[in-house]
């Protein structure tokens, strides 16, 4: 139900406690902090219940990850500059550990040639060459950033019989193995749309056979995909653009069977970037569309490839390069944080944000300066752990105040702390009422609001302070301590984090 609907239904039943306009169930293992709504002096008060005894799901330490489009291969000046700018590396390190996917539509038009130099790497309009020198720089960047590279191989290299021609891929794999680089792999980008991109119509059945071929080749290189004891993905796919078109996603997994891919991947965008409107970015119905898709893909993957992880292999607010002056502004944080909250609850282990740099949906602009979603992502990394808690109603539809919870990142907060994501989609201030059991100790608030230009600002403020680089370095971004037993207000169309010493048993 919407905020207005819930308020009208409950306002007649809301009582007071110590002259405060809220009600609270007396449940030993539930903390009430933000779910149903009441009205107090014109201010809406939100409360929810979070189970602090049990974990609802697990993600991973690389849950929030990124992509860079393969179109940068063969383009040496803009915007990545062969992965060498110091600012690019500085920005990347703050998102570590992370997977970074180097892929996209362009990956199916890239070939590897270790004997060519950079000046020769653009053969023609449709084919780019990945040189050995570029590959070395890509892998050095990955190592220095603390990221793990997953690279998309060209699936449109075909034999006369229609099978995947693995010859060029094997050259790259041999070179990678000889250099002792640690890389994971994909094969093809959005194969359910190949025919729309003037490529051959590769059926789901044929692509599954091609993946089996690639898996048998990768088995000859046991060290290629091994990043750490906690990361075991060597091959991921199918990276479909949709879940339903021609049943490609389902048919691929059914033909593939279990044990071939280590991660099942699909792509998600809310809408077309060329037609997106500002109001879409705070429309709960648009956000709710993801709920069923996440669960449906997870169940399909579980049925046909139960040993695999499930990833959002490429995702952002709007496809087609993003929506200019929307996907790259403060208001896009609504969609980004909500997506992270929902994916975590559905046991997704990786969400690859399109993109780190490049396009209107990037975390960094063309000059490698951080956009609002970058700062929001850095805070997510600092504050959230892989342990997911269930907030009552967090999978319900029509929520205009959306709250998610994880155990806090123990690098920055002790055991037992809980970090809440709070998103206020309403046009009014919402007050979060925390019970005494949660507020015996001060809370830490990370309230994110737009800089100049309102909700379409390309700047963001943390607790009223503008976030900007200082000598190419990101500021420390501390939280604001809120005194015990104090209410917290989230203004209209803002979002952020609240950290509480909940003494949560699930987080010990």
Task: State the catalytic residue, choosing from 107, 255, 309, 314.
Answer: 314
- Residue 41, judged by CB atoms within 10 A of its CB (0-12, 13-18, 19+), counts as exposed
Residue owning tokens 């019970």: 435
196 assigned to active site: no
Q: Edge-to-edge strands of the sheet including 350-353?
A: 183-187, 147-153, 98-103, 64-69, 350-353, 309-319, 263-272, 236-240
Distance of CA 292 to the CA centre of its chain: 17
Task: State the catalytic residue, choosing from 49, 107, 186, 190.
Answer: 190
Question: Which residues, at least 6 apart from 337, have a Cβ–Cβ distance to it below 8 Å?
Answer: 376, 380, 404, 421, 423, 495
Q: Return the C-alpha torsion angle 240, 353, 392, 41, nearest 10.
A: -130
Instruction: Please give the C-alpha separations between residue 264 and each of 41, 176, 261, in angstroms, as whole numbers.
Output: 50, 24, 7
Token pair of 487, please?
Answer: 């209410």
In 70-199, which residue ranges form alpha helices assigned H by DSSP?
Answer: 86-93, 132-145, 167-178
Q: What is the 3-state secondary structure (H, E, C) of 460-505?
A: EEECCEECCCECCECCCCCCEEECCCCCEEECCCEEEEEEECCCCH
Token pair of 56, please?
Answer: 């609802």
Token pair of 233, please?
Answer: 């993905």
186 assigned to active site: no
Give the catalytic positions in this structure: 190, 314
């Amino acid at each position: 139900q919407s905020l207005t609907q819930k308020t009208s239904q409950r306002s007649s039943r809301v009582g007071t406690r110590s002259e405060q306009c809220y009600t609270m169930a007396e449940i030993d293992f539930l903390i009430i902090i933000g779910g149903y709504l009441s009205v107090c002096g014109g201010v809406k008060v939100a409360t929810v219940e979070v189970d602090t005894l049990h974990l609802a799901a697990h993600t991973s330490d690389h849950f929030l990850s990124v992509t860079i489009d393969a179109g940068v291969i063969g383009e040496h000046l803009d915007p990545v500059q062969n992965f060498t700018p110091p600012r690019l590396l500085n920005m990347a390190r703050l998102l570590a550990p992370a997977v970074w996917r180097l892929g996209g539509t362009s990956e199916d038009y890239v070939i590897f040639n270790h004997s060519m130099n950079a000046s020769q790497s653009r053969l023609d309009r449709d084919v780019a060459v990945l040189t050995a020198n570029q590959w070395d720089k890509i892998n050095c960047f990955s190592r220095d950033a603390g990221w793990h590279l997953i690279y998309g191989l060209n699936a449109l290299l075909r034999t006369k019989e229609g099978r995947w021609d693995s010859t060029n891929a094997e050259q790259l794999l041999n070179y990678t193995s000889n250099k002792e680089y640690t890389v994971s792999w994909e094969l093809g980008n959005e194969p359910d749309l190949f025919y729309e991109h003037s490529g051959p119509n590769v059926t789901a059945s044929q692509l599954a056979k091609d993946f089996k071929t690639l898996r048998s080749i990768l088995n000859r290189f046991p060290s290629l995909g091994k990043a750490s004891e906690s990361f075991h993905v060597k091959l991921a796919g199918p990276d479909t653009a949709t879940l339903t078109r021609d049943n490609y996603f389902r048919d691929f997994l059914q033909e593939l069977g279990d044990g071939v891919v280590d991660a099942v991947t699909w792509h998600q965008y809310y809408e077309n970037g060329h037609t997106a409107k500002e109001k879409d970015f705070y429309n709960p119905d648009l956000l709710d569309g993801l709920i069923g898709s996440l669960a449906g893909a997870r169940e399909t993957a579980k049925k046909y490839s139960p040993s695999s992880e499930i990833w959002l292999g490429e995702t952002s607010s709007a496809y087609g390069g993003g929506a200019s002056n929307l996907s790259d502004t403060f208001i896009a944080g609504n969609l980004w944080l909500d997506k992270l909250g929902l994916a975590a609850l559905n046991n997704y282990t990786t969400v690859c944000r399109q993109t780190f740099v490049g396009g209107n949906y990037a975390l960094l602009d063309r000059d490698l300066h951080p956009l609002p979603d970058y700062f929001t992502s850095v805070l997510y990394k600092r504050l959230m752990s892989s342990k997911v808690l269930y907030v009552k109603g967090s999978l319900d539809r029509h929520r205009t105040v959306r709250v998610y919870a994880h155990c806090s990142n123990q690098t920055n907060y002790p055991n037992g702390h809980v970090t809440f994501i709070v998103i206020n989609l309403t046009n009014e201030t919402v007050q979060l009422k925390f019970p005494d059991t949660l507020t015996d100790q001060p809370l830490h608030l990370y309230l994110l609001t737009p800089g100049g230009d309102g909700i379409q600002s390309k700047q963001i403020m943390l607790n009223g302070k503008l976030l900007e680089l200082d000598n190419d370095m990101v500021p420390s971004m501390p939280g604001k301590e809120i005194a015990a037993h104090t209410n917290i207000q989230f203004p209209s169309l803002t979002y952020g984090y609240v950290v509480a010493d909940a003494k949560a048993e699930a987080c010990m």
